[in-house]
Structure 1
Amino acid sequence: MNSSSLHPLHACWDLAASAVRAEALDTALDLGLFEELLQPSTAAQLAARRGLHAANTAHLLELLWSIGLLQRQPGEPARYELAPVAREHLARPSPRFCGDAWRYRLASLRCLSGRLRQHVEKGPRLTDSPFQSATGAGWASAARAQIGQEQRAVSAAAALAILERLPQAAQARRLLDLGGGPGWIAIALAQRFAQLEGVVFDWPETAAVAHENIEVAGLGGRLQAQGGDIAADPLPTGFDLVWCSSVLHFVPEVAATLDKLMAAMVPGGWLVCVHAELSAEAEDAACVMPFYLPMRLAGRHVLAQGGTAAALAAAGFSDIEQTTSGLFPMAPVQVVVARKPAAPAQAQACHV
């Protein structure tokens, strides 16, 4: 149907319908239906195997087909099988499965959006820390499970795609993965670039998870996990490549964090910042705002389009380039690459 023929309020009605689509996917994941559909099946066959109501199972499968997660074979009764995206990411046997990660995001957004009116009426609670990232055993558990799943299935491949197009990555020798969580991005980069060594820096409980993953990957001789507070503790130094993804949203002061990153890098080193930003165009902002509105209501940083690049320039970085990537979970992000200026020639000569 041509969108121009739809009622002007269709977008509002579609917002209500999106809750049904999300519930359908959540239900299918919870019931293990994607694993059942690794081989084509009718709704009645699937319902019989899982002890479900046959007619309503058929309705659910039809909805999942309508949103592109299932393929439907012609015939009566219809037979369903997984669409490629579901086979790769929503069926648990797949090494790129991230269904648990999606359900974790859904639950988080439901919880946060449920407090939206309270935030608008009264602002954040005094007990809320607007810049505190998740810490402690709860976040470490998520890093080991849902967040780790998302990083392995989606984010690590996205990071590789970005750095494989950055010629400087092939020459880099020492990597800092700032706020690297379970460490799968650093692991993927070390596996791709054999010369690379480095450090994953995150809260102590999460760094412990990264350490476990590094050891399992057999990279303990090249990668370390270091725990600490990005805002309060000193960062390790000597890096010629820094990966910083979705970290600046949570720090108390963006400028102070960029100053610390500058100090952690060697002259001529490269910083890759990956963060969501808010476009001045409504259509582009609509792709970002739903995921980051709860964060903004809590007082965290979500910069306007070009804000990260401007902050890097103000911090003294040079050779700044910005592109948009849709390869990461949730919303499109801005990938900003910047260079720490090389040491002056005279200083280099004295050092030699």
Structure 2
Amino acid sequence: MSLSTPHALQPYWDLTLAAVRADALRIALEWKLFDLLQVPASADLIARRLELDAANTGFWLEALWSMDLLARDERQPAHYRNTPVASDYLRSNVADYCGDAWTFRLRGMRRFGSQLGEQVRAGQPDSQPADMTTTIDNWTAAARLQIAQEQRAVTVDVALRLMARVPEFTQARRLLDLGGGPGLVAIALLRDNPLLTGNVFDFEKTVAVAADNIQRAGLEQRLGVLGGNLATDAIGEGYDVIWCSSVLHFVPDLPAALAKIHAALRPGGVLISAHAEIPADPEHARRVMPYYLSMQMLGRHVSESGGLSEALHRAGFVNIDSYPDVAFAVAPVSVLVARRSAS
């Protein structure tokens, strides 16, 4: 065995080190460090601008350098500058800024982790959350800011690349973005396909966010909004394509929701379902489980690999194409392209 071979415990020591890296990034976002480092600057200059201790600022910048968020040159003292990922996604004034979304996820994961022992002890709740108003308000606020950032920077591009693999998309006329939040995916799909019209469906309060984005995009003549609850309200009919991402985890009755979606498609229509499933091997499951563990413990629908495909078959969908490891924000998902029979 080499002297540099990691100990068997190293992956678990790495867990403790990750918390420090996360906080190094957290304070960089809070203090808008990356706004200052589009041009090279020394630790002393950054310390003066942010009113920090110069020596410890240098150590902090070195930590961010080790995380590939900063590059440094060979000058003495060293000057630091954003790497491409920091420049493209972590400066507060760029179109694809994701700092709020990243911090939102960090806080959510830490809050869940602090309650994990109690969750394991208490078991799953007997019913859905009683305070739906708070749930809807929280989702609407996230749709306006954090989810919008993730859709803009990540989901839109993935959706467009997926649709390029769906032969029916180029001739589609009617789209439903089911649980679409800020509606940025629907907006991108309509821009990509000039034949499309459609709707964004979400809670009444949430579709107001989508409506604002649709108006800003100048697409209000082609794209409308429908407010309601998938479990209880109509979602329309005659759609050629339904995009449904991270929605089915939360429905109280999965077979009923899939039956409603199937009925909303015209014959030959296509559902694109993007939802996490737990892979069968530990290496891939390790990438999915930390994010979706909280949903599992709350009794949400997070199936094992292949489970959602089976549910779609039972609901009457046919000719299902599977993309089991699609890179979405935070954790990979399984994308299923399922069709309603043409006959």
Structure 1 residue 102 and structure 2 residue 102: aligned?
yes
Structure 2 residues without counterparts, runs of 5 or longer: none
Maintained 8 Å contact 1:37/1:82: yes
Structure 1 residue 243 and structure 2 residue 253: aligned?
no
- 1:277 aligned counterpart, secondary structure: coil
Q: Which residue of 2 aligns with 1:323?
A: 323
One-letter identity of the residue aligned with 1:194:
P
Q: Which residue of 1 aligns with 2:283?
A: 283
Matches within 5 A, 1:12-161: 12-124=12-124, 129=129, 135-161=135-161
Maintained 8 Å contact 1:135/1:205: no
Maintained 8 Å contact 1:132/1:250: no
Cα distance change on mapping 1:179 and 1:83 into 2, 3 Å: same
Q: In the TM superposition, what is the alpha-carbon distance from 1:127 to its structure 2 partner?
A: 7.5
Distance 1:182 1:51 in 2: 37
Cα distance change on mapping 1:284 and 1:325 into 2, 3 Å: closer
Distance 1:273 1:182 in 2: 18
Maintained 8 Å contact 1:131/1:250: no
Cα distance change on mapping 1:62 and 1:130 into 2, 3 Å: farther
Maintained 8 Å contact 1:132/1:251: no
- 1:259 aligned counterpart, secondary structure: helix
- 1:244 aligned counterpart, secondary structure: strand
One-letter identity of the residue aligned with 1:85:
V
- 2:270 aligned counterpart, secondary structure: strand
Cα RMSD (Å) of the superposition?
1.9
Distance 1:322 1:248 in 2: 17
Q: In the TM superposition, what is the alpha-carbon distance from 1:222 to its structure 2 partner?
A: 0.5
Q: In the TM superposition, what is the alpha-carbon distance from 1:68 to its structure 2 partner?
A: 1.3
For these two proteins, the number of residue pairs brought into alignment is 342
One-letter identity of the residue aligned with 1:271:
L
- 1:5 aligned counterpart, secondary structure: coil
Q: Provide, for residues 228-265 of structure 1, a one-character-per-residue CA deviation record: whole Å limited to 9, x for no partner.
A: 01001122111010001001111112211110001100
One-letter identity of the residue aligned with 2:53:
H
One-letter identity of the residue aligned with 1:253:
D
TM-score, normalised to structure 1's length? Answer: 0.93
Q: Which moves more between the two structures, 126-135 or 49-58?
A: 126-135
Q: Provide, for residues 256-313 of structure 1, a one-character-per-residue CA deviation record: whole Å limited to 9, x for no partner.
A: 1110001100000011000111011000000000101111111111111111211111
Q: In the TM superposition, what is the alpha-carbon distance from 1:54 to its structure 2 partner?
A: 1.1
Structure 1 residues without counterparts, runs of 5 or longer: 344-352
Q: In the TM superposition, what is the alpha-carbon distance from 1:155 to its structure 2 partner?
A: 1.0
One-letter identity of the residue aligned with 1:61:
L
- 1:234 aligned counterpart, secondary structure: coil
Distance 1:131 1:241 in 2: 32
Maintained 8 Å contact 2:205/2:227: yes
Matches within 5 A, 1:249-328: 249-328=249-328
Q: In the TM superposition, what is the alpha-carbon distance from 1:19 to its structure 2 partner?
A: 0.8
- 2:244 aligned counterpart, secondary structure: strand
Maintained 8 Å contact 2:128/2:252: no
- 1:249 aligned counterpart, secondary structure: helix
Distance 1:93 1:300 in 2: 36
Work out the percentage of aligned pairs sharing the same amino acid. 47
Cα distance change on mapping 1:162 and 1:313 into 2, 3 Å: same
Q: Provide, for residues 63-99 of structure 1, a one-character-per-residue CA deviation record: whole Å limited to 9, x for no partner.
A: 1111111112123211111111111111112111111
Distance 1:127 1:75 in 2: 61
Maintained 8 Å contact 1:262/1:340: yes
Cα distance change on mapping 1:125 and 1:317 into 2, 3 Å: closer
